[in-house]
């Protein structure tokens, strides 16, 4: 089959335990039973694992175990990453799956190079700049109508990303990499509290789509914790993908069903929801291509930081903020001042992100200039040790020397959905993957492809419906074939040319701040990687208030920052009914040659870190 790829030279998102169900006739909810890994209780969760032979970390133990199975069979980090991602599409279907897209960052041990795949969803050819504007009023359509519609469904990039990564860098074919996930979908697994809670958060809109209600509300009820779900529809879909490759979606029967569902969403009888039809055509699927992009790259206190270039804003914004922070010393001896500068650097980085970053095929994105050390030093001059910048801060022009020290007044914060998932993987040869994938917000568009076992994304709602600032060019308006801006920040850190850390997170725009704060915790404040991941989080995105987790508001630094002028609001409930920011998966290569895999100890129900050979 044809490989969906274009080589481009560019300078530079809950541990769920529920597969999807084909129909109520196939839906089964039964008590957990013991047996093989796919038929028993999930593998035990652990937030930290140290050892050798390779490592995997994700939000779900079933998924991490699928990646570890690939390593056991002689596969490399790329094989493990695809196996893990496919399993996440089964057990974490509200955050990821073949109906979405993502960004794949890979360190190749043989060449010592970092390479990336942009597998972001694209807009259909029929989507214009005013696609989300009501033609009768001239105003943006209600956001809820955009999300829960075929109009927000972008052309999926995940299947092409998996096939491309395996073809270029893996050792397995797609069919072999999909086997653990296919088995999970076929045999079923155990529902946990997080899955039930997320289903309940989405219950109202899920009931408005007949195929989604059949899958996630079997018998019309919420799934029962401890029961088992099986998904023969998704198992068959994965088998078809494994047999025919990604062509099954981009040129085949799966794609036919995707287009039919997006064009005419299966609205449940009696629903009064306004559901707009999608613009996707079969030709849009056939034209989709993954893009090989040069990664973003900057240095920070002796480390090389690699991440994802635009269409993602993750690499440019994390990199710019680190360049700003490098102008001052951050020390665990003065955590208040370190956090103050972290907040301000993030505020400034977001101001520039919102103005300049979009799909580089449609606008001139100044990636190199945003990541220049000189621009970082100019922007750092805005930060004062004893006062707080007033938001929104205006963006600076990275093309104009000396213009970074003017605060000005910026525009409103654009919206970005909060879900997504992230994984990391390494192998015994020293290859490393940091991979973030998504279907946008939790539950995506809410629309399930009938009989196919997966949800469609709502990624096109990441476009700005109208310009963020009147009279200022907006690089993130819709357009035919355009990729919406993302905040996904899969990151790999090298030290002396060797991989040291891989890190990433879900969480919409908070992905950027989560990755940035984790790096500051680890590289500046002297925390171990597990402590850096577990530490309470705050997120400033060029707004008046800084979002904070409850645990942070109880710290002494919180009160000291308030005295400087910072104001905090509680982080929203996104993945589960508790205020959380991000859900990190990470790993670090230790001085003794071992690898330390790290997952969240509590957020999103706790993640799953595994290594092939356990060690002290």
Spell out the domain ranges in the chain.
14-43+55-292+423-462, 297-416+486-589
Please write the tens of the pLDDT for every residue from 281-330.
Answer: 999 999 999 999 999 999 999 999 999 999 999 999 999 999 999 999 99
Specify whether 436 is catalytic. no
Question: What distance in Å separates the CA atoms of residue 46 and residue 52, rounded to the nearest whole number?
Answer: 16
* pLDDT score of 412: 63
Q: How confident is the model at residue 616 (pLDDT cuts 50, 70, 90)?
A: low
CATH class name, domain 297-416+486-589 = mainly alpha
CA dihedral 178→182→183→189, nearest 10 degrees, is: 120
Please write the tens of the pLDDT for every residue from 114-164.
Answer: 999 999 999 999 999 999 999 999 999 999 999 999 999 999 999 999 999
* pLDDT score of 118: 98
Cα distances from 449 to residues 239, 264, 397, in angstroms, run 16, 11, 44
pLDDT above 70 for 46: yes
* pLDDT score of 401: 75
pLDDT above 70 for 27: no
Cα distances from 142 to residues 133, 149, 280, in angstroms, run 9, 11, 21
pLDDT above 50 for 599: yes
Cα distances from 197 to residues 15, 192, 223, 439, in angstroms, run 11, 9, 10, 18
How large is the average pLDDT for residues 381-389? 96
Verdict on whether the full-model pTM lies above 0.75: yes
Query: What are residue 84's phi and psi, to 5 degrees?
Result: -65, -45
Q: How confident is the model at residue 472 (pLDDT cuts 50, 70, 90)?
A: confident
Query: What are residue 515's phi and psi, to 5 degrees?
Result: -65, -45
Check residue 249 and give left, alpha or beta (phi > 0: left; psi -120 to 50: alpha): alpha
- Which tokens is 359 given? 């799909």
* pLDDT score of 2: 42
336 and 561 in contact (C-beta within 8 Å)?
A: yes
Element spanning 546, H or E: strand 546-548
Check residue 403 and give left, alpha or beta (phi > 0: left; psi -120 to 50: alpha): alpha
* pLDDT score of 231: 84
pLDDT above 70 for 31: no
Worst-scoring range by mean pLDDT, 83-92, 160-169, 185-194? 185-194
Tell how far CA 184 is from the center of its chain. Answer: 22
DSSP string across 77-123: HHHHHHHHHHHHHHH-TTT-STTSEEEEEEEETTTTEEEEEEE--B-
Give CA angle at 300 (297, 306), nearest 5°: 25
Q: How confident is the model at residue 18 (pLDDT cuts 50, 70, 90)?
A: very low
371-374 contacts: CB < 8 A, separation 24 or more?
371/12, 371/296, 371/297, 371/298, 371/316, 371/319, 371/320, 371/323, 372/323, 372/398, 373/298, 373/323, 373/326, 374/401
Please write the tens of the pLDDT for every residue from 215-261.
Answer: 999 899 999 999 998 889 999 999 999 999 999 999 999 999 999 99
Please write the tens of the pLDDT for every residue from 99-119.
Answer: 999 999 999 999 999 999 999
Please write the tens of the pLDDT for every residue from 407-423.
Answer: 666 666 665 656 799 99
* pLDDT score of 459: 97
Question: What distance in Å separates the CA atoms of residue 18 and residue 190, rounded to the nearest whole number?
Answer: 7
Q: Count other C-beta atoms under 10 Å from residue 257's C-beta.
A: 16
Tell me the three state secondary structure of residue 350.
helix
* pLDDT score of 573: 78
17 and 607 in contact (C-beta within 8 Å)?
A: no
Please write the tens of the pLDDT for every residue from 476-517.
Answer: 999 999 999 999 999 999 999 999 999 999 999 999 999 999
* pLDDT score of 416: 62
Task: Spell out the residues 6+ positions from residue 122 whose beta carbon is closer than 8 angstroms to its own.
Answer: 154, 155, 157, 284, 288, 481, 482, 483
Which class for 185: exposed (0-12), middle (13-18), buried (19 or more C-beta within 10 A)? buried
* pLDDT score of 37: 37
- Looking at 420, 421, 513, 518, which residue is catalytic? 420
Q: How confident is the model at residue 524 (pLDDT cuts 50, 70, 90)?
A: very high
Mean pLDDT of the chain: 91
| Residue positions counted in the chain | 616
């Amino acid at each position: 089959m044809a490989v969906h790829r274009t080589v481009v030279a560019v300078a530079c998102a809950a541990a769920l335990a529920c597969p999807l169900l084909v129909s109520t006739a196939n839906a089964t909810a039964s008590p957990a039973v013991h047996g093989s890994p796919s038929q028993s209780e999930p593998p035990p969760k652990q937030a930290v694992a140290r050892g050798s032979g390779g490592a995997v970390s994700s939000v779900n133990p079933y998924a991490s175990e699928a990646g570890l199975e690939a390593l056991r069979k002689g596969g490399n980090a790329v094989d493990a990453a695809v196996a893990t991602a496919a399993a996440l599409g089964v057990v974490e279907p509200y955050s990821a799956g073949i109906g979405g897209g993502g960004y794949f960052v890979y360190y190749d041990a043989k060449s010592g190079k970092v390479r990336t795949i942009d597998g972001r969803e694209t807009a259909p050819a029929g989507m214009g700049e005013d696609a989300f504007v009501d033609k009768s009023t001239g105003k943006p359509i209600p956001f809820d109508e955009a999300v829960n519609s075929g109009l927000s469904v972008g052309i999926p990039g995940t299947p092409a990303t998996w096939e491309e990564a395996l073809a270029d860098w893996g050792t397995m074919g797609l069919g072999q990499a999909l086997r653990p996930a296919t088995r999970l979908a076929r045999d079923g697994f155990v529902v946990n509290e997080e899955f039930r809670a997320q289903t309940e958060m989405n219950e109202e809109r899920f009931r408005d789509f007949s195929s989604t209600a059949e899958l996630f509300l079997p018998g019309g009820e919420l799934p029962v914790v401890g029961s088992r779900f099986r998904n023969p529809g998704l198992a068959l879909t994965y088998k078809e993908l494994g047999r025919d490759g990604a062509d099954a979606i981009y040129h085949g029967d799966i794609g036919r069903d995707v287009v039919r569902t997006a064009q005419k969403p299966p609205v449940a009888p009696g629903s009064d929801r306004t559901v707009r039809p999608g613009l996707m055509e079969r030709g849009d699927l056939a034209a989709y291509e993954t893009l090989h992009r040069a990664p973003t790259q900057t240095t920070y206190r002796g480390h090389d930081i690699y991440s994802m270039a635009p269409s993602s804003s993750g690499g440019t914004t994390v990199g710019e903020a680190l360049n700003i922070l490098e102008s001052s010393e951050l020390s665990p001896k003065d955590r208040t001042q370190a956090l103050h500068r972290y907040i301000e650097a993030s505020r400034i980085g977001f101001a520039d992100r919102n103005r300049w970053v979009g799909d580089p095929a449609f606008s001139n994105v100044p990636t190199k200039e945003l990541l220049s050390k000189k621009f970082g030093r100019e922007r750092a001059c805005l930060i004062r040790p004893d006062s707080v910048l007033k938001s929104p801060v205006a963006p600076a022009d990275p093309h104009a020397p000396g213009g970074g020290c003017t605060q000005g007044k910026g525009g409103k914060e654009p919206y970005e959905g909060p879900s997504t998932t992230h994984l990391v993987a390494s192998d015994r040869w020293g290859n490393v993957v940091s991979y973030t994938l998504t279907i946008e917000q939790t539950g995506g568009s809410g629309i399930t492809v009938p009989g196919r076992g997966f949800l469609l994304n709502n990624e096109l709602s990441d476009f700005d419906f109208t310009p963020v600032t009147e009279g200022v060019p907006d690089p993130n308006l819709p357009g035919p074939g355009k990729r919406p801006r993302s905040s996904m920040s899969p990151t790999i850190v090298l030290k002396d040319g060797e991989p040291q850390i891989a890190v990433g997170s879900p969480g919409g725009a908070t992905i950027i701040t989560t990755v940035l704060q984790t790096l500051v915790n680890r590289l500046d404040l002297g925390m171990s990687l597990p402590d850096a991941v577990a530490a309470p989080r705050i997120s400033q995105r060029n707004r008046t208030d800084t979002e904070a987790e409850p645990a942070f508001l109880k710290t002494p630094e919180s009160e000291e920052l308030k005295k400087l002028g910072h104001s905090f609001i509680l982080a929203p409930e996104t993945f589960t009914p508790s205020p959380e920011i991000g859900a990190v998966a990470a790993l670090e290569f230790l001085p003794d040659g071992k690898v330390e895999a790290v997952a969240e100890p509590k957020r999103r129900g706790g993640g799953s870190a595994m290594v092939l050979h356990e060690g002290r």
